[in-house]
Amino acid sequence: MKVQVKFTSLYRVRTRIKETQLELPEGSTLYDLLAAVDALTGGSCHTLLYDGEAGRPGPNLLLIVNGVPSARLAGYGTTLKDGDSVAFVPPMAGGSLGSFGGGASVWVLSC
Amino acid sequence: MASSNWDRMLRIDLNRRTYAVEETTAQLEEYVGGMGRGVKLLLDEMVAGADPLGPANRLIFSTGPLTGTLAPMFAQTCLVTKSPLTGTILNTYAGGDLGAEIKFAGYDALIFEGQADDWSYIFIDDGHVSFHDAAHLLKMDSLGTEQVVREELGVAQARVITIGLAGQNLVKFAAILSGRRVFGRGGAGAVMGSKRLKAIAIRGTRGLDVYDRGAFLAAVDEANSVINKELANEFSLLGMFSRHGTGSGMGVVNEQGALPTRNHYMGYFADADKIDSYAYARDYPTRIISCYACPVHCGQVHHINKGPWAGLVTRGPEYETMYALGSEVLNSSAEALAKANDLCERLGMDTLTAGTAVALALECAEKGIIKGEGSKLKFGDPRAVLTLLEDIAHRRGLGDLLAEGPGVAARELGGEAPAFAMQVKNSGFAAWMPRRMKGTGLSFATANRGGCHKRAPIGAEIMGFVDMDAVEGKAAMVKEIQDKVNAIFTLVGCRFSEFVLPLESYLALLEGATGTSLSAEEFMTLGERIWNLERVFNVAEGFRRKDDSLPGRCYTPIVGERSKGAVLTEEGMNYMLDEYYSLRGWDSEGVPQAAKLAELGIEAYIARMST
């Protein structure tokens, strides 16, 4: 199946790719997509994609599948289908946002 | 005891060309500073129904107790006035160095009142105030005026704030320029123009002290360490702003179909990457600038060194302007966008409301609502945008109507125009889509200054921490962020400080600087009190539930990629509004109930709402 992959903001700068199409096996998940992107970029973005040696997706990733953040789907286990569009965007999260949902207070961003 | 507050304000009467230094009352001190002080002063000094462009209106430049100190991210200045654009109370903010200079001159606030017969500019030199003729400056743009005023005064280090042609012509969304920073929203520039005040220069040479130097410096160190940790991560929000400016976040918005495009018709702009921060950094020499004592330095100055406007040097565009004069009008030229941004600065106009007014005109032309010469206007033509911006500032032709604001202009244009005039209370939408981000839609609708994004749950919605399409639970989020940001704005903390500093940090800085000790709960209540005072002001001006509303387009599905079909229903909006009013302790018309005002200790203002 074919998946359209788009790199925005800092990801565009780091991968030097704006948009590309990847051929993935049926049933592939976002984990598989990360591996494909790692291979595509010849490992040059490995530390961006993964959290150290643990094989976990890096903390600075936010993937948007057809306009919906992966966190609102099944996370990195989200299964992709033919024709899906996945965008790599910077998470822009940090600081006090981390306490969001902690119950004590709702910390929210605005620009 | 020492304090970072002077407990005095400078009042300038433009009719009589007099000035007086006033001590701050204990009652006013309860409002801490910044926005709180400004709102309280305006409410107490201005009767309901007074003309915002008349002599009764005040321009109140209000600093906070941390302004001018070493505290990081407290460089802004708050300006409170009655908005000629919306008819509501207005608070608007500019960064840079102005606030620190006001403090160094020995004041916590400057209040301008009256209306002069002739154009003047004013020089505040510590304790001395002088009035100067400004007739010869009227043909100069805002940035040129700043330079000439400094030269005439012979004071190279004076901070100078100015208006441009739009302010002189009482364009309802005229801005006040403070160096390369802008009091953008709500038309404060027209208020300054109505007073025939072209510029204000200020020089301060006094030092500031704090209540407890040891405690204050410890709080500063703590705040700096939190901020610096954040800045070290180039993928954090502040880390990105610090390196690439506010336009670095465009991708995350666009990819979720939440970037207003083509007058909010669509939520995805295919050319976003041609006008975002990275496009500017890649193609043009870029210099980073900072506000006073701010380690974040999110300002970006671009030198456009090629194309039809080669030689142009402009700060920005910021993210919000990338929308208003970019995606919203289908402008994918970074150079034309920089030119439009610069034009708005020089003419002195809010880019947001200007952009929504222009987008309204483009769509009206497309739909045949505008006839004659104007019917040739079309989306995707940057030259048309530049011409319209000039026409607005000069009040020429169609521009004269657009200068009244998008809501007023749409009613005059007629037909279905009001449905796609993207404004609340006549103030143009910020760069977010209520159909995609429902809580942000509620924030736009209920904002006391209209269409405001400064107190919206944008991050939680755009980052997916909550379901952006849901209406449930949004009212509580909106109330909390409104109250919290209002409290932070009493300290005149930068809006971005809220992304990183914990509440305790604000309180420790305040206590170290002034000796004022507030609990987190008291701080939040202060924010709520101010929000209600603003609401009292607006209710007395006749604002009710019908005004807390969004234009018809918000109730039609988004068209195009990423967010096709996303919509806000009227039932959903009413659900959020009912819940919001209930949480606020307001009646179903949005009028604060007596019990709520009593609980907040502001029952004295109940009577104002029946005037």
DSSP β-bridge partners for residue A69: A64
Type and span of the H or E element at B292: none
pLDDT along chain B (611 residues), means of 10: 93 97 92 97 97 98 98 97 98 97 98 97 97 98 97 96 98 95 97 98 97 98 96 89 92 94 97 95 95 95 97 95 98 98 98 98 97 93 97 98 98 98 98 95 97 89 87 96 96 94 96 97 97 98 98 97 94 98 98 98 95 66
Of B233, B251, B498, the CB nearest to A8: B251
Cα dihedral across residues B537, B538, B539, B545: positive or negative:
negative
Cα of B429 to nearest chain A Cα, Å: 13
Instruction: Record the tokens describing residue B514, joined without a space.
Output: 């002034």
Q: Do A92 and B456 touch (CB under 8 A)?
A: no
Reported as a single tens digit per residue, the pLDDT across B96-129 is 999 999 999 999 999 999 999 999 999 999 999 9
User: Three-class SS of residue A37?
Assistant: helix
Burial A17-45 (b: 16+ CB within 10 A, else e): beeeebebeeebbbebbbbbbbeebeeeb
Helices B503-514 and B213-232, packing angle to 10 deg: 150
CB-CB neighbors (< 8 A) of B249 in chain A: 9, 90, 92, 111
Burial B358-387 (b: 16+ CB within 10 A, else e): bbbbbbbbeeebbeeebeebebebbebbbb
Provide the greatest CA pair distance for chain A.
45
The span from the CA of A105 to the CA of A97, in Å, is 10
Judged by a CB distance cut-off of 8 A, whether residue B483 touches chain A is no
**ipTM confidence score:** 0.81
Question: What does the pLDDT read at residue A109?
Answer: 33
CB-CB neighbors (< 8 A) of B474 in chain A: none
The span from the CA of B83 to the CA of B57, in Å, is 9
Question: What does the pLDDT read at residue B180?
Answer: 84
Reference B426, options B400, B444, B443; nearest CA is: B444
**Weakly modelled stretches of chain A, pLDDT under 70:** 53, 92-111
Q: Do B463 and A97 touch (CB under 8 A)?
A: yes
Cα of B488 to nearest chain A Cα, Å: 13
Question: What does the pLDDT read at residue B26?
Answer: 87
- Chain A residues at the B interface, defined by Cβ less than 8 Å, are 6, 8-13, 18, 59-60, 62, 64, 66-69, 71-72, 87, 89-97, 100-101, 105-111
Judged by a CB distance cut-off of 8 A, whether residue B251 touches chain A is yes
DSSP β-bridge partners for residue B174: B349
Reference B58, options B37, B76, B79, B78; nearest CA is: B79
Cβ atoms of B259 and B250 closer than 8 Å: yes
Instruction: Record the tokens describing residue B313, joined without a space.
Output: 């040097």
User: Three-class SS of residue B126?
Assistant: coil
Q: Do A9 and B278 touch (CB under 8 A)?
A: yes
Reference B255, options A53, A77, A54, A11; nearest CA is: A11
Reference B30, options B589, B580, B529; nearest CA is: B529
- Three-class SS string for B20-59? EEEECCHHHHCCCCHHHHHHHHHHHHCCCCCCCCCCCCCE
The span from the CA of B46 to the CA of B149, in Å, is 31
DSSP annotation string for B527-570: HHHHHHHHHHHHHHTT--GGGS---GGGGS--BSTTTTT----H
The span from the CA of B200 to the CA of B134, in Å, is 11
The span from the CA of B135 to the CA of B131, in Å, is 13
Cβ atoms of B61 and B509 closer than 8 Å: no
Q: Do A9 and B481 touch (CB under 8 A)?
A: no
Can you give the pTM of this predicted structure? 0.95
The separation between CA B379 and the C-alpha centre of its own chain, rounded to angstroms, equals 26
Question: What does the pLDDT read at residue B36?
Answer: 97
Reference A28, options A65, A72, A68, A69; nearest CA is: A65
